[in-house]
Amino acid sequence: MSSFAIRSARFARRLLLATAAVAALVAVFLVTLVLTDGAGSGLGAWLTTLGVGTAWALWRGWRRARAARLAAFLPLVVAAALTGSVCVPSVPTARQYPPALPFVAAQHWNLATGSRVAVYHHAPANNGVRRPVPLVYLNGGPVRGISVLDHRFLQLLARQGYDVYAYEQAGGGRSDLLPMDQYTISRSVRDLAAFVDRLGRGKVDILGFSSGGVVLTRALADPRVAARLHRAIVAEPGPMDGPTAHADGHKGRPSARALAPAVSGPRSTRVPRYATAFGLMRLGLLTPGTGLIGQAEGDNAFTAADLGGDTASAYCARDAHRIPQEDTPQNFSFSPAASLRIQETIKDSPSVAPELRRSRVPAMLMIAECSSQLRQWATAVLGNDPAVRSTQFMRGVGHHMWNGLDDNNERAAAVVTAFLEDRPAPLPDHPTRDGIPAFLRDHE
């Protein structure tokens, strides 16, 4: 074997050993990060890694030449730089709230629960028709700002004479943050009751979309909150309780999730700190209240592009190449940690079906043809709430039913207004309560 080949083999061996050492130190960092739940912005895990690496380098360099002793520290320097980048914030750590919207002002209401929420009022158009019962909109998220696309739909309802109010749930959008342990589905329901009381207009109609539909469903199961409701529209709900969240099932017709072009724009998940934090939280290895990143910092860092295929999954496959921009970068707001925390409290909650079966508030269920939600989540509401009068199966739309495409907003508004005004539904009642088994069997 030539001397060049021998030198090359030795270099490759040393490079492999150095790479393995760096990987081992990164693994030490991640394990310690998980064990300490990211304490001190990850500094504790970083110092532990530094200590382990230093001890290893000193052992490797023992009784060796000066050059060899220094070379033993090279993997430590590389690992320290890589892991250190996870400990340094790159966005403000104090909450940066979205700027004001140009077409609707945000008021801030202090609720009796202690939450301070951003409230939006779309007043009825001055056309002589004014509906007597206010309509309150609960957006999805769970902890997310109301998108411009949703505001446009609410404006359409206001032009038809509805007095529309919407608020961003605590921690979302322009609403104030809560301590992490106060984000629970029960708190969301109490905030809804407190909001209706603060509005002071008597009973209200509620349109709850996605996770907002979960809040509304659980409100219907609580007689004290249900007493404040006039009519309820549950649109594309998530799981209403632990048993529903753990149920198996199928989704609607194919969505655009794997077909739409990649979302452009900056992503926090390309930054080591936030990729690590959000990734480990999603895997359940860090708690939502992790010490690695604060709630405010996580909210500031998270961008619309970070949602990736989640946005595309809200549209039908045929709309994959014309998905509208749901929000502006300035208005977009999503709290990943608080949302995860609320989802965990839903998964851990007992069944609300016995209470829901006693509901008497007139209700309607809206289901999308290309829904990204499990069908069993919607049919659980239909099967357990005897006051659901109608199910409107919205064809040609995905989870985000009022999306500004074609006449989708108008079709959704027609369904909503017909129910609120006690007029015949525009669409056949499908599925019916008795038709749930066939609906699920046929994978509609």
Pinpoint the alpha helices (H) of 137-207.
148-159, 185-199
**Closest to 146 (Cα-Cα) out of 187, 207, 216, 72:** 207
Q: Sort strands 388-398 and 363-370 into parallel, antiparallel or unpaired.
A: parallel
What's the whole-number mean pLDDT along residues 234-255?
96
For the cut 60, the answer to whether the pLDDT of residue 259 exceeds it is yes
Percent of the chain past pLDDT 90, that is, above it, reads 82
pLDDT band of residue 56 (cuts 50, 70, 90) is confident
Instruction: Kindly list the domain boundaries of the chain, sorted by start residue.
Output: 3-84, 106-263+311-441
Mean pLDDT over each residue of the chain, to the nearest integer: 93
pLDDT band of residue 55 (cuts 50, 70, 90) is confident
Predicted confidence at residue 19, as pLDDT, reads 84
Range with lowest mean pLDDT among 11-25, 273-287, 350-364: 11-25
Predicted confidence at residue 16, as pLDDT, reads 79
For the cut 80, the answer to whether the pLDDT of residue 73 exceeds it is no
| pLDDT tens digits along 402-444 | 999 999 999 999 999 999 999 999 999 999 999 999 999 988 8
What's the whole-number mean pLDDT along residues 171-199?
98
Predicted confidence at residue 12, as pLDDT, reads 63
Predicted confidence at residue 431, as pLDDT, reads 96
What's the whole-number mean pLDDT along residues 224-237?
98
Select the CATH number that applies to the domain covering 106-263+311-441 from these four: 3.40.50.300, 3.40.50.1820, 3.20.20.70, 3.40.50.10860. Answer: 3.40.50.1820
**272, exposed or middle or buried, with CB in 10 Å at 0-12, 13-18, 19+?**
middle
d(CA 282, CA 421): 42
Does 227 or 18 have the greater pLDDT score? Answer: 227
Report if pTM > 0.95: no
For the cut 60, the answer to whether the pLDDT of residue 1 exceeds it is no
d(CA 413, CA 254): 24
For the cut 90, the answer to whether the pLDDT of residue 74 exceeds it is no
**Closest to 300 (Cα-Cα) out of 95, 84, 16:** 95
Q: Containing H/E element for 309?
A: helix 309-312
Predicted confidence at residue 15, as pLDDT, reads 67
What's the whole-number mean pLDDT along residues 182-211?
98
Specify whether the CB–CB gap between 59 and 81 falls below 8 A.
no
Range with lowest mean pLDDT among 58-67, 265-274, 282-291: 58-67
Q: Quote the tokens at residue 137.
A: 């909109």
What's the whole-number mean pLDDT along residues 95-121?
97
pLDDT band of residue 2 (cuts 50, 70, 90) is low
Predicted confidence at residue 58, as pLDDT, reads 79
Range with lowest mean pLDDT among 152-156, 254-258, 410-414: 254-258
